[in-house]
Structure 1
């Protein structure tokens, strides 16, 4: 048998198949002529390059045939090696080592698709199957996506259908020795692809044994002669081992993978709903393409600017609540909680709460911030917020108080310095200062002054940073006045870093970073973060402020509804401005007066963006489990509202009711 393998390798005229074979099966590289003698490159003999140039077409055909032969021989060798185990059981440590060694290089490249492909190829060689498929669970649409296969990639099936659906629902492996006789088997995929499924094993891909990521499936096992035979329990164990490796890669980049699927589907879809969904998720992923971006004329741009600036109506009067003294410490901050209702307080009261956050957290005393300077700073920040439906001072304070609760109730502060805490609290209050109530995409599309100033990069976030430090430059508002140059530089860097991380285009990157932190968590709950490492602290501050900025839909349904209606109103106003100016209207902002579209937009936002974010955050800091649970409840409410509206049960009779109150 080994002589046949060596003979096949000797005949290879290109080196890549030999290298692949050696990589997988650890055979010694062989170089020689047909008689087994070593050969070298002689100056008089043609080189490999000259042979390739002269006979490229023939070599390609020959290598294609040889590859098939080598692959078959390799699988036979693998099976025979494994069958040498007298007990006929799997040595899991050896199998894991085999898979991990083969995948080490791909994992270092951090390319998810390459990692998945390598694991799939491992399964082909180890199981001698005709087809290997990877399905990924879509929790939002309750579907399984065919993410990796030799055919039908992109196929979607309900997760209550077929063998893959059964495995997804029960999270139990299944071995079917005769698919054509099984009531579980759904022949729809075979009918579409022309493939004939005879035998099958299917295992769940899970994280920590309880969180379903997807399904790993192998079809039609072959024996040494190429005959189709049933899979064994031995094969099931191997597929389970590989699924663990696959789970790690998919879990690390779950959000990125989900966004890729949705955006990829929309690119080839004619469905307006798919395009609206993709348009919305695009704002949380990659930067807008300048090729696809329609630029407005100068007249259109001026119309949009005029529409934007109408929101800039700032209040200038402040009244301290009667009987309250600024010297009090902790009197108000103790009232703050995860579900603190900012709508039950006036904006003037929120100013006093903001003052008290600085004082009760010890920042005022530690950094010698005078009461009058602190009050002036917060008032100046408040005056710089516009009266937008969503991006206003109430939103700023809501994020600030949420961050205060996170710092107070979790171990986040174990990984931060006092300088970091001062920067985070300040960044949370200022993270949307002077927001015009429109998106970065619109500012870029209309070539606004801000877009030109910041070169189309995180336009609003850069503007918020600039506005913040213009306020801090005023002596009467400079809460950083007591810091020396080194500390000031550190605070400035941290504030800018944190605010720039609120650019929603960074959402996928930050979610992936959280997964890496969660995976590095030890049994004592300690995170792989070093308080003495500035890079670790900066990354954590980015995550924390970004999460708090997306906390509205992770609160109770009353607050979630109030904030949800306001952000949709802001989208509607932008759409109206775009339409009036003759600029292409952002797809997901269209027809938001239709209740079904409102429910769908909120469901997508919570399901694809908010839930994965707070799930990972709660794994980092378990005290925030309440945020994930609330987001899940809100997702279920939006989903049910969408179902009712889609069924036309309430579409005509109750079109004006809000989504969540409809379900209360």
Structure 2
């Protein structure tokens, strides 16, 4: 009976299942899920009624999942892999159809777009994948799909009409009626990637809880596919971004001279990483204000004022050049200066809009756009049709829009997305910032051009005129010809005749005085120095050039109290005297002697009457230009400026190596006149003197110095110091007058420090302490000058007259200082005597005798 009872039970169950097919279907969906899944994900999909599957084990489910993972990894195209998953999910939950919406952002606004639409268990991939031009796009604040991606949570909507978020926008476009849906977001951490939606439960009014669980379980595979695609895509994006920035940086810094060439090099190099069919760069006119003569017709009413669009900083929008990069087939670059308004990249008005507002504009399916007038047909004979566009402003560091870059048609047919915006924005930002390089280079160029113009003006104003040259080299009077038309030998002869002999004017004496000599005669004396050195004819210095150079050097000195042409000449004459009379020339070549005397004449050219410290305190342009030895470097620059002007370049006939030597010696000689460097070099000079003093053989001393360029330069530098201070060695009647000139110039600087800088000058520059001049002169001689001339007298006894003159002048200054000190002491003694007398009176000690000093009885 037990057996019969079991048979009866089976019959009852079978009859019940036959009479209740819906229950049977749902029951087997739950209990026989593994085989259903096996059938759903089989390679050769064979659609059967799920109720017919029986006897499936849990092991089969694991196998199925493994096969599905293999399938996902074997399919490189995300849409195809996702299509298969959607078909299986569609069957598993008995949905009429499924769709996949991709999440993205354009113009900074998130949106959802159809990627796979109306996928059924039997539909083909080609029919379901959405062409970029046919996408249905809507923002995330519309529809249930928008709610899903915003809330980032799945939803089971049994009746869409009861859901306030439901939008029938898609239904109206497709004619399909949505009743219920099951939807879930695909997430990458906290960021949405897309939404999968199952629509309309087949054989039921809504999706059940079991469907939700199943949908949630297998939506993971869709997430893996989307995430895999997203990761791969973002890797590609970052790779492109880094390449774009790397190559654009490389090319930007290759070209600093011109913004157009800079942009072109960068944009052409990165073309393969931008992944578009074309791009166009429009460069904007940066002129903010019209020339006054262009304003006249407007102000007179003859021309209408400009009423068109303007950039945010108020410039009229005028693309002065367009560069088109055509990449769709054969690469071609077109540069269009002053492009017409109907140029294919401008005619839509989009670049103008971007230039006016500074917005990034990312547009898909431009043919359907009503705001801009894009050409719907081919834009040129190549057949190129604009489908989607990304346009960005190129903004410099000053927040000025310098151009507009517009990219056309992404190569994969999809619209430009947020990542494309970021890549191109990084590129345009970099290009915009790099404009600073061109601007800086342009400013440097303009500064250099202004400097050249200023130098030309200075040379023109200071260069000796033909009339001035004729005062010395009177070829017009002698030959009735200008110097350039005369024979050089005849001019040498004439010039020698017109200038006095060195011995006749004491040029070879250390005691030479310029005071009774006119400035014009000093120019002649300077020319004579070069003839005495024998360098004029040896180095083929044209007589006219030598005369003009010497006269120009004189004009280069300002008419100030001490550091004027007379001081410049005295230093040059002393250098000449050290070489000739002091017999220091034996250590130097003719070229070196030539350069040393020329540098000595130029050593203080264009001196301003104030020292380096004042230049620094006052923040003068010279102080900003030169960090150390400020005035000395300015004098050096001035002297080299004369070398650059052929008509006054006395070294013009030298070979390149010789000319470089001359320039180096100018560096050594002129910079050496900075007394701040004197204390660094005098120990080195003393060692040379100590080494040569015991040498009895002159040839040995010459070899010791001449064979070592450093020793020669040290002696040369000390010679310049000796020349610069030589006024302190002149006869007393000369030195006393020159010292007052030096002091007067110092006092003038002290007045400036007091009035301009609001500072108290040091005693040497304080005219209120003029009476202390003798004492300060003694201190200057002892602290600075004595070493120079003492060591030179040891080095060469021929230079002893300078040391003797120094000591003689010190004796005179000491005598004056003692007289002044005696007066000061007398005044001080008298003051003390008066104070003592006053003190005695105050204490009553004025002859009244025995009163106590501490107590008085009234």
Report which of the two structures shows the higher radius of gyration computed on alpha carbons.
Answer: 2
Higher relative contact order at CA 8 Å, sep ≥6: structure 1 or structure 2? 1
Give the TM-score of the pair, scaled to structure 2.
0.38
Relative to the length of structure 1, the TM-score reads 0.49
